[in-house]
Structure 1
Amino acid sequence: MMIRCKAVLLAVVLGLLSTFALAEDTPVGVWKNIDDQTHQAKALIEISQTASGELTGKIVKLLQHPDAVCDNCEGALKGKPDLGMTILWGLKQDGKTWSGGRILDPKSGKVYSAKMTVLEGGKKLEVRGFLGISLLGRSQVWERQ
């Protein structure tokens, strides 16, 4: 009976550890984005995964300009508050990266192709927006919250 209890306890512990390990390899969660030019924290972005496995991300807190609106956006987003705006969508897992999606820069109103890679055991997320090939773009490293 004691051996059976130890085996069950070990299975539970290993299950929990594997769950934590998987959580570190996913971009799902809340991230603080850091401006690649000013190196200042700008916002908290919540990334979630849809039922189809695609990632979406929306601004859940603005750290510098809480009343910012997307003046340079086009269409339905023009003049809408940045807070609550979906700025990331359509990324699909491709090995250790997530790609094939789009990212909106609310400041410029421009939409770019996007890819992201989880770094440092899930503590950081490299987010790259680019036009055409990924060499023509810029990256930010976000910090998990």
Structure 2
Amino acid sequence: MKNLLILITLAISCISANAQNNIFGKWKTVDDVTGEVKSVVEIYKESGKAYGKIIDITDPEEKDSVCDKCDEDDPRKGKKIMGMIIITGLEQDGKKWDDGKILDPENGKVYSCKIWVEDGKLYVRGYIGISLVGRSQTWLPAQ
């Protein structure tokens, strides 16, 4: 009986650790300058890659905003930001997901992207060229 309890405890511990390192789900985006929650992004898996879609915008006045700063050749140009896929094509590389792209709808720029989870928070890194030149945000779980 004692061995069974130990095995159950270990299994629960592994499941809990795995859940804490899971990128998939809903995340509150937090502005890296102001610290305010801006939106909720749902990270999901499709064809083995990770994608992220804006499913809520916290500022009621921004809910109908469009990506007017996107490049002319970006199909998201002029489209509503609510419902927009802003993270595309991330591939799993150990505990991180890398080699994808992220759109910043506020400035219309597309960056290389990698994301990972630590301590229940999602770390999002957008960068140009090598990952040393870029910007990072920490997103929080959304219930």
Same fold (TM over 0.5): yes
Aligned-residue RMSD, C-alpha: 1.9
- Structure 2 counterpart of 1:60, one-letter code: I
Ranges in structure 1 where 5+ consecutive residues have no aligned partner: none
Larger radius of gyration: 1
Runs of 4+ in 1 over 2 A off after TM superposition: 9-21
Q: 2 CA distance for matches of 1:10 and 1:134?
A: 42
Query: Match of 1:51?
Result: 47
Query: Match of 2:65?
Result: 68
Task: Report the secondary structure of 1:77's partner residue.
Answer: coil
Paired residue total: 137
Q: 2 CA distance for matches of 1:125 and 1:27?
A: 7
Query: Match of 1:21?
Result: 17
Q: CA deviation at 1:12?
A: 6.5
Instruction: Select between 11-20 and 32-41 the one with higher mean Cα deviation.
Output: 11-20
- CA shift digits 1:77-105 (9 cap, x unpaired): 11111000000011112122111110000
Task: Report the secondary structure of 2:75's partner residue.
Answer: helix
Identity between Structure 1 and Structure 2 (%): 44
Q: CA deviation at 1:15?
A: 4.5
Q: 2 CA distance for matches of 1:109 and 1:125?
A: 22
Aligned 1:79-98 pairs, distance under 5 A? 79-98=78-97
Q: 1 CA distance for matches of 2:28 and 2:101?
A: 19
- Structure 2 counterpart of 1:55, one-letter code: A
- CA shift digits 1:36-81 (9 cap, x unpaired): 11211100000011232x1100000001221221001133211111
Ranges in structure 2 where 5+ consecutive residues have no aligned partner: none
TM-score by length of 2: 0.86
CA gap 1:105/1:20 in 2 versus in 1, 3 angstroms: same
Q: 2 CA distance for matches of 1:14 and 1:119?
A: 20
TM-score by length of 1: 0.84
Task: Report the secondary structure of 1:82's partner residue.
Answer: coil
Instruction: Say which structure is richer in helix.
Output: 1
